[in-house]
A and B are shown apart, each in its own frame.
Chain A
Amino acid sequence: MVTTREIATAVVTASLIFGAAALAQAYDGGEVKDGGTISGTVKFAGAPPARKTIEVTKDKEVCAKEKHLSFDLVVGPDKGIENAVVRLVDVKKGKKWASTKAELDQKGCVYRPHVTVVPAGGELNILNSDGILHNIHTYSKANPSINKAQPKFKKVLTEKFSKPEVIKVACDAHAWMGGWIVASEHPYIAVTDAKGAFSLKDVPAGTYKVEIWQETLGKSEKTVTVKAKEETKLNVELAKK
């Protein structure tokens, strides 16, 4: 179970990460010609811990269809870390957000995806595929915290997060349910896949600070220089603090 303290720490860290971004000038989105790509992997340094099995104590007929493993740190076979967030920090200008929407599903009493990226100010459609009562309880600072019930009959709940922030989301009906909503001003943000891989495309040439964040490992920062039409590799290792 995620304790208050962990949530608080995570929220504080998250707000520190994005505090700077919030202060900066608004992002200017437009056409990008001859952009470069940043791609690479985020890997775990050291022996990866095994995922804990979570005991489903409630609504078993819906929630216990699959075996539940904890999502706080998912390390793949090649030590690739899944669900790490990689983003540019000080980008002022670049491509437009391709979409203005995102989707988050509650299925089998798990947030899918575990980390959802949503354009700041865009709509997040929260689905309830389970057909049982969940509630969306967010812990945030820049955006107002919400705690809304999503009973069976409420198939979709639409929410907006106007400020960029990393927001913890939890369900009070199912203590094990935990996920993250990342509201970002610009589209240069990626969540790593099962192999720990990510790529940020159409980045205007220049030097950037790249931030890598994972809920239990915290954040680290790298500087990357992107050249036009070229691919820049960025491989990062995160370790337990």
Chain B
Amino acid sequence: MRWWGRQRGTKIAEEQSLRIVFFVSSMMFVVVTGWAVWDEEATRRPWKEYQAEFNRLEYEQVSQELAAERSKLDSPEARAARAKLQGDVQAAQARLAGPEYAKAQKLLAARQAEYADVSMRGQFIKSELDEALYWVEHAIYEKKDTQGPKARVVNLEKQLHEIMPKVEALGAKEVQAQAEVKRFQADVEKIQVKIGELVAPVTALERRLASIKGRSAEVKQVVVEGLAINEFKEPILTVDRCTTCHLGIDRAGFEQMKQPFRTHPHREVLFGKHPITRFGCVSCHQGQGPALEVDSAHGEVKHWERPLLRGSSVQVSCRPCHVEEKELPLAPVYSQGRQMVEELGCFGCHNLPGFEKAQKVGPDLTRIASKVDPSWLFRWIKDPRGYLPKTKMPNFGLSDEDTLNVESYLLSASQPMPELRGAFKAGGSVERGREIVNKIGCLGCHRIAGIEPKGQPSEAASAVSARNSGANASESEKRTAAVMVNGEQASQPVRARLTAPPPAPENQDFAPDLSKIASKVNADWLFSWVKNPKHFRPTTRMPSLRLSDDEARAVTAFLMTLGQRRPIAGLDQELKKTERIAAGERLIRKRGCFGCHDIKGFETAEKIAPDLSNYGHKRLLELFFGEAVQVKQTWEDFTFWKLKNPQIYATERVEQLMPNFGFTDEQAKTLRVFLKSMSTQRPQAQFERKLSDEELAIQNGRGLVKRYNCNGCHVIEGQGGAIAAFYPDKTKIPPPLEVGGLHEGEKVQATWLYQFLGRPTPLRPWLEVRMPTFGLGIEDATTLTKYFAAMGKQRVPYEYVSLHEPLAENLRAGRLLMSKDYFDCFSCHQQGDKKPEGPPEGWAPDLSLAKRRLRPVWIAKWLKDPQKIEPGTKMPSYYPGGPDDVFGGKEDRQIRAITDYLMHLGER
């Protein structure tokens, strides 16, 4: 300080030296600049390291591939092939240098000269002709003698006529000679191309290596237009730089690489339909597109509202554009969650977009008093799973008091049973009832303890699909099923079905388990129900099996032996108390029982629970955690625990009305993915994926197949048919409809199918299992008809129109071929009222129905090779091997004749 002062003191400012100050500050400046550059380059650009590493890894990978290709090229065979080609090249080159080539060239030169000569002469003659013509005109104009010039014209024209063919002939010869010369050159070129092809993989890889070396680090970005929408609902441009680090995302061959370099799963399908340049990354995965540092790019930093969707939760992003689709093969968890909502009926209490028209999922309770035992009902309301462990009905956690109140309202509001034609009288045969239940088809949907599958577990069903495993369908389904189970992504065709295969009979829980049914229902009710379920409840899914009174009595008698009643003493008096009825009504209103059940007095009641149509975007402050401090403060945790146990958020002042569904962790997570997708944001119209008519037919049809559990009895899309396990005799199982090369929609006429679905008539008298009457309305029957047609790649409507009268000789031949002396078709096939000999087990379908039922194209296909369409069928192959004395043994003509005859059977 003193030194400084002394300096200042002794010299005036202008004379003071600032050298040291300058030096020090400029040094600092240099250091800071250096540090800034270093910091910018080294620490602020972590992506550079990723790129370097990716380049290194790719280089290694390509080098390995190159080594493999080189060694392939070094194999004795490849060497021999190359040596041979080299030899060929040399030979060809030698030929090029040899006398033959020289000869060809010489010939070409000669031909060229000849041609040039003649063609020039031709040209001269043409010119002279023009001149002569001029002189003719001139003579006419000058009114001179035209004779001389005209003679010259004629002479010249004659010369021209003579020379033109020569010109053409020589021209052709020249072309030929040229081709000859070229052939020598082409030989060499062709072989060289072949050699090039042989080493092409190696050169391609070498080029790739060189290009990797030549890469410089750069930020890669995609500008996405119109997919994101700002606060004012206007489409905006967004920038994604994700590919700066995710370098292998849109390139095949990096499937096994570590992240962030791995190829996108299902890249070909997903990027094929969603090119990265149009959709970017953030529109599906969320995160912070322009950021270039890991955590901020993934949006996993404070104040970024849309962090990366990890794991299966990314599937929620499919919904906005694919809102029409119920099943998305590449979004299995989302699709399954959607299906859970559909089955559980969440929409009974919550407003959920897409389920506006869905029916209530629980049974109608307006006639509950005549249906069930009051003691059973008490226990059921209190703990549904105590009776049916797999029931959808949730637990409301009611006290005994509340349970009594609810029950007393339900019973008091119950209406009398509709009038029945033949009431149940005791005395039905239990044994006969058991037999009927065993055979008639109840087991396609219901499970009854004590009636177990007779074969090995669904042997017959698996036999059907196994035999058809030639079609990749079943394999892909297995894989799809695996996806469903593991929640992992495996490669699979996109069109494959998603839903897990229908359960084996022992896990069958489509319809209630009847093992303890007698402890629940009244015999009178049961009788009228099995006789005609729709009579009791028009919207029920339970079909009619067209039981006679006797059969219904026997079935009732048998079912009433299953289970024991356990009366609760004094229950009746309690239930009759009027204060209970009023309290019950209040409770039903509060808990929303009418969301799933029809209850008298609640026909117009509103949904009781919050609207969930934008639930995925709920912010934390909108979620009520109550006193549940153990739950982490995230949307994910809140939702998970809400599903697992709603009561966790109940406090002294805030009740939780949602019942407990007893979800497993897995189920809660699946449902959470669907809830996360609940959003009112809509993309612009051009991004919405509309279903085609065909896709819609398939989607709607699958919905009905599931709704009516067609899969319980029939193999459809390679799945189902588990009822077969109850029939040891394979000939007694319901026919498969849609598996391998077998397509019901290709086989039968749409009109017939439509009518059959509405009112089934037995086709196969040897079956004890009955095709039920589902009482399908016009809409449902049409949907199913369209579905089967779409699966069979057929159009609807379809009508068989014979464009011209079939030839009489065809009809004659058809009849002859089918007669006893030839194919003897009616040895097994029925023909209207004419039945074959022997027991019905040995019969085959009625051929007089063929003209109304079957498509002629299918008949021909079937006759050609029935085993190919339905492996294991009883129908034997007649071809090849038709008789020689009909149409000279010509297979196609014979098949045509039989088809024609079948399509006119009964007419003559």
Contact B842 A133, beta carbon cutoff 8 Å: no
A residues near B (Cβ < 8 Å) are 1, 3-5, 8, 57-60, 132-133, 135-137, 145-149, 151-154, 157, 172-175
What 0/1 readout, one digit per residue, does chain B (200-228) give for beta carbons within 8 Å of chain A? 00000000000000000000000000000
| Cα distance, A135 to B728, chains bound together (Å) | 22
**Is B822 an interface residue when CB atoms closer than 8 A count as contact?**
yes
Among A4, A137, A152, which residue has its beta carbon within 8 angstroms of that of B821? A152
Contacts of A149 in B (CB 8 A): 823, 876-878, 881
The 10 closest A-B pairs by CB, nearest first: A58-B838, A135-B876, A133-B824, A149-B876, A57-B838, A58-B837, A4-B730, A172-B874, A149-B878, A147-B876
Residue of A nearest to B883 (CB): A153
Contact A8 B837, beta carbon cutoff 8 Å: no
Of residues 797 to 828 in B, which have CB atoms within 8 Å of A's CB atoms? 820-824, 827-828
B714 to chain A, nearest CB (A): 18
Contact A57 B839, beta carbon cutoff 8 Å: yes
Given A133-B827, A147-B873, A149-B876, are A57 and B822 neighbors across the interface (CB < 8 Å)?
no
Contact A148 B824, beta carbon cutoff 8 Å: no
Task: Give the secondary structure class of B's interface.
Answer: loop
A sample of 9 more A-B contacts (CB under 8 A), given A4-B460, A133-B824, is A1-B841, A4-B731, A5-B728, A58-B827, A146-B867, A151-B878, A152-B821, A172-B842, A175-B839
Residue of B nearest to A149 (CB): B876
Given A58-B838, A152-B821, A153-B822, are A147 and B867 neighbors across the interface (CB < 8 Å)?
yes
A152 to chain B, nearest CB (A): 6
Among B837, B872, B873, B877, which residue has its beta carbon within 8 angstroms of that of A57? B837
Contacts of B838 in A (CB 8 A): 57-58, 175
Task: Give the secondary structure class of A's interface.
Answer: loop
| Cα distance, A146 to B873, chains bound together (Å) | 10
**Is B455 an interface residue when CB atoms closer than 8 A count as contact?**
yes
Residue of A nearest to B827 (CB): A133
Among B460, B731, B823, B871, which residue has its beta carbon within 8 angstroms of that of A133? B823
A134 to chain B, nearest CB (A): 9
Residue of B nearest to A150 (CB): B876
**Is B551 an interface residue when CB atoms closer than 8 A count as contact?**
no
Among A146, A151, A172, which residue has its beta carbon within 8 angstroms of that of B824? A151
Of residues 854 to 890 in B, which have CB atoms within 8 Å of A's CB atoms? 866-867, 871-878, 881, 883
Contacts of B728 in A (CB 8 A): 3-5
A129 to chain B, nearest CB (A): 16
Contacts of B455 in A (CB 8 A): 4-5
Contacts of B729 in A (CB 8 A): 3-4
| Cα distance, A111 to B867, chains bound together (Å) | 23
B interface, size bucket: 20 to 34
Contact B842 A58, beta carbon cutoff 8 Å: yes
**Is B240 an interface residue when CB atoms closer than 8 A count as contact?**
no
A-B contacts, 27 listed (Cβ < 8 Å): A4-B455, A4-B730, A4-B731, A5-B728, A8-B459, A58-B827, A58-B836, A58-B837, A59-B837, A133-B823, A133-B824, A135-B876, A147-B866, A147-B872, A147-B873, A147-B875, A147-B877, A148-B881, A149-B876, A149-B881, A153-B822, A153-B883, A154-B881, A172-B842, A173-B827, A173-B828, A175-B842
Contact A175 B841, beta carbon cutoff 8 Å: yes
Among B842, B871, B872, B877, which residue has its beta carbon within 8 angstroms of that of A173? B842
| Cα distance, A61 to B824, chains bound together (Å) | 16
B886 to chain A, nearest CB (A): 10
Residue of A nearest to B842 (CB): A175
Contacts of A151 in B (CB 8 A): 822-824, 878
Residue of B nearest to A133 (CB): B824
Contacts of A58 in B (CB 8 A): 827, 836-838, 842
| Cα distance, A105 to B324, chains bound together (Å) | 62
| Cα distance, A107 to B238, chains bound together (Å) | 83
Contacts of A132 in B (CB 8 A): 824, 827
| Cα distance, A213 to B625, chains bound together (Å) | 73
B736 to chain A, nearest CB (A): 15
| Cα distance, A241 to B70, chains bound together (Å) | 64
Given A5-B728, A57-B837, A133-B824, are A148 and B842 neighbors across the interface (CB < 8 Å)?
no
A163 to chain B, nearest CB (A): 18
Contacts of A157 in B (CB 8 A): 881
| Cα distance, A147 to B866, chains bound together (Å) | 9
Residue of B nearest to A132 (CB): B824
A157 to chain B, nearest CB (A): 8
Contact A148 B837, beta carbon cutoff 8 Å: no
B431 to chain A, nearest CB (A): 22
Most buried by B among A3, A4, A59: A4
A147 to chain B, nearest CB (A): 5
| Cα distance, A60 to B837, chains bound together (Å) | 9
| Cα distance, A4 to B728, chains bound together (Å) | 6
B764 to chain A, nearest CB (A): 14
| Cα distance, A145 to B729, chains bound together (Å) | 18
| Cα distance, A1 to B841, chains bound together (Å) | 11
Contact A148 B827, beta carbon cutoff 8 Å: no
Contact A137 B876, beta carbon cutoff 8 Å: yes
Residue of B nearest to A8 (CB): B459
A20 to chain B, nearest CB (A): 23
| Cα distance, A154 to B469, chains bound together (Å) | 32
Contact A148 B876, beta carbon cutoff 8 Å: yes
Residue of A nearest to B825 (CB): A133
| Cα distance, A146 to B867, chains bound together (Å) | 8
Residue of A nearest to B467 (CB): A145
Given A4-B728, A175-B841, are A148 and B883 neighbors across the interface (CB < 8 Å)?
no
| Cα distance, A147 to B822, chains bound together (Å) | 17
B732 to chain A, nearest CB (A): 9
| Cα distance, A157 to B820, chains bound together (Å) | 19
What 0/1 readout, one digit per residue, does chain B (501-540) give for beta carbons within 8 Å of chain A? 0000000000000000000000000000000000000000
A57 to chain B, nearest CB (A): 4
| Cα distance, A58 to B842, chains bound together (Å) | 10
Residue of A nearest to B727 (CB): A4
| Cα distance, A136 to B867, chains bound together (Å) | 13
